[in-house]
Every structure is written in structure tokens, then in C-alpha cells.
Amino acid sequence: MGGNRRAAEEFVEGRGGLGELRRGLKLHLKAVGGNTALVTMRGPLLSEEDRELLLKVSNLLEEILETLEVAEDEELVEAIEEAEEDVEAGRVRSYEEFIEELRSYGEI
């Protein structure tokens, strides 16, 4: 876990790369896992509420990682921007029209 903290600190301070931070977070999420339970001699270290919160945080970190991956993909960002421009310009069609077009080309 020390490596994860170091990667995060380096990223915040501008020394580390986004990819390094993402790799560290992925390793941390794999290590924590949704089914992990910490138990001591006196019983569970984490309450059910703590485990639920940890799972929510883990899911949020996964979403952040996906967002970072999209933000790093220049082609994907350009495609999203182009799609937003199409919507603003009214270059859209209904789902039914889209499906009909796919059928006319033999795609489905």
C-alpha cells in the first residue's frame, strides 16, 4: 500500500504520471477486494457498515479509473466531443430509426 500512497503523492505534486497512479490504484483495489474481511481475536475489525462503505469507495475508485482511462484516450475524447456537437446541431435520430438503418444494411 505504501507504493500506492507514493504514486498518489507524486501525481498530486506533479512528479508522477497518470498511468502510474492508475496502476497503483488498480493494484490496491485488487488487494482490497469486495469480499475481504478483517478479523481480530476480539471479532471483526470492520463492521457491516464499514464493509459497505469500503465497497462503495472501491466502486467509486473503479469509476474514477475508467474516467481517467477515457480522458487519456485522445481518439475517444474526440469522438465524444463530435457526438456532443452532433446533438447540439440536431444531427440525431430515434432509436427506431437507427435500428431500421442497421436492418437495411444487413447488420442485424
- Rounded CA separation 22/30 (Å): 12
42 touches 52 (CB < 8 A): no
92 touches 86 (CB < 8 A): yes
Contacts of 19 (CB under 8 A, 6+ apart): 72
- Residues 71-82 have a mean pLDDT of 95
pTM over 0.75: no
Give the pLDDT confidence score for residue 5 in this predicted structure: 58
How many C-beta atoms surround the C-beta of residue 7 within 10 A? 22
- Residues 7-23 have a mean pLDDT of 58
Domain ranges of the chain: 1-72, 74-108
Helices 74-89 & 48-72 angle (0-180, nearest 10) = 90
